[in-house]
Structure 1
Amino acid sequence: MSAELDLGTAQKVLDSQPFSRLLGARLTAFGDRAAVLEVDIRDDLRQQNGHLHGGVLAYAADNAITFAGGTALGPAVLTGGFSIQYVRPAAGVTLIARAVVVHGGRRQAVCRCDLYVTDETGAEALCAVAQGTVLTAGAP
C-alpha cells in the first residue's frame, strides 16, 4: 500500500481480506496520504436498535487508517492501535470512512479518520471519529 500503488491494486489487497469481502467493503480513494473506504449498510450489519453496529464502524476506521498509512509507509504495514469515538448512531445507506495521514515518519504514521453515513439523497452525517498509528511490518 504505497504511494506507487494505484486504487485498483489497493482494492485487490482489500479483496484479499476475507472479512472485508464478507462486509462488502470497497476503496473509493487511495493515494496522496489518504484513503476512503465504503460499506453499504445492510440489515445483517445492524445492532438491536437498527443502527449500524459499532464493530462495523471500528472495522472501517481500522482499515481506512491502515490503507492511508500505507500510502506513506509502503505496502507492508499493520495497525499499531487506534481509538474511536462514536458521536451519533449510524443510520443510513452507506458508511464512508475517510482517513488521512497527519504525521508520517520512516517507521510509523499517525492517521485520523472521520466516519460518515449517507442517507438516500447522499447527504452525509458524521457518526464517529478515530485516530490511529500504523507501523511498518517488514517485507510483504
Structure 2
Amino acid sequence: MSPLDMLKKINAMAEFNRWCGIEVTVAEPGFVEIQMPWRPEVGQYSGFLHAGLIGTLIDTACGFAAGTVAGPNLLAANFSVNCLRPAVGQKFIARARVVKPGKAQVFTSCDLFAVDADGEKLVANGQTLLTVVQAG
C-alpha cells in the first residue's frame, strides 16, 4: 500500500479528522501535506482559525509524516506550535517533514499556510516528537 493510500485510510477512520474536513493530499516517505477548508465552526471569536485547530493541523500532519517512515503506531509525546499571524483563509495547508527518524522516536517539523485569492501565507509552524508504540 502506498503512503498516500495508507494515510487516507487512517484519516478516514478518525472521526475528528472527518469533522474538521482534513484531507491528505500528498504523502511520500518523510513528507506529508494535508488540507482543511475554512468554515465558521473552526473559527474563534474574531473570525480567525482557532489556535486549537492550528495545533490539530500541525499535530496531524507531523504524525502522518512520521507514519510514512515509522508506521502507523505512533503517539505524540510533545509538540509545540508558534502562531505567527492571524490564520485567515479559504483553506489551510499543513506541510510536515521528518527531521530525524528513529526506532523509538521520530522528530518532525511543520509549516501551516492559509490560502486565499492572493495565494499562500505562512501563519504557523511547529515541531512534534512522536513515540513509536510497540504492538501487543
**Normalization by structure 2: what TM-score?**
0.94
Count of matched residue positions in the alignment of Structure 1 and Structure 2: 136
Give the residue type in structure 2 aligned to 1:77: L
Matched-pair contact (CA < 8 Å) for 1:73–1:107: no
Matched-pair contact (CA < 8 Å) for 2:94–2:110: yes
1:15 is the counterpart of 2:1: no
Matched-pair contact (CA < 8 Å) for 1:73–1:104: yes
Instruction: Tell me the CA shift for residue 16 of structure 1.
Output: 0.5
Matched-pair contact (CA < 8 Å) for 2:78–2:128: yes
Q: Which residue of the partner structure matches residue 56 of structure 1?
A: 53
SS at match of 1:47: coil
Q: Which residue of the partner structure matches residue 129 of structure 1?
A: 125
Partners of 2:44 and 2:11 in 1: CA distance: 25
Give the residue type in structure 2 aligned to 1:135: T
SS at match of 2:56: helix
**Normalization by structure 1: what TM-score?**
0.92
Q: Structure 2 regions of 5+ residues with no counterpart?
A: none
Q: Which residue of the partner structure matches residue 110 of structure 2?
A: 113
Partners of 2:128 and 2:3 in 1: CA distance: 23
Instruction: Tell me the CA shift for residue 108 of structure 1.
Output: 1.0
Task: From 26, 31, 34, give the equivalent of 1:29.
Answer: 26
Let me know the Cα RMSD of the aligned residues: 1.3
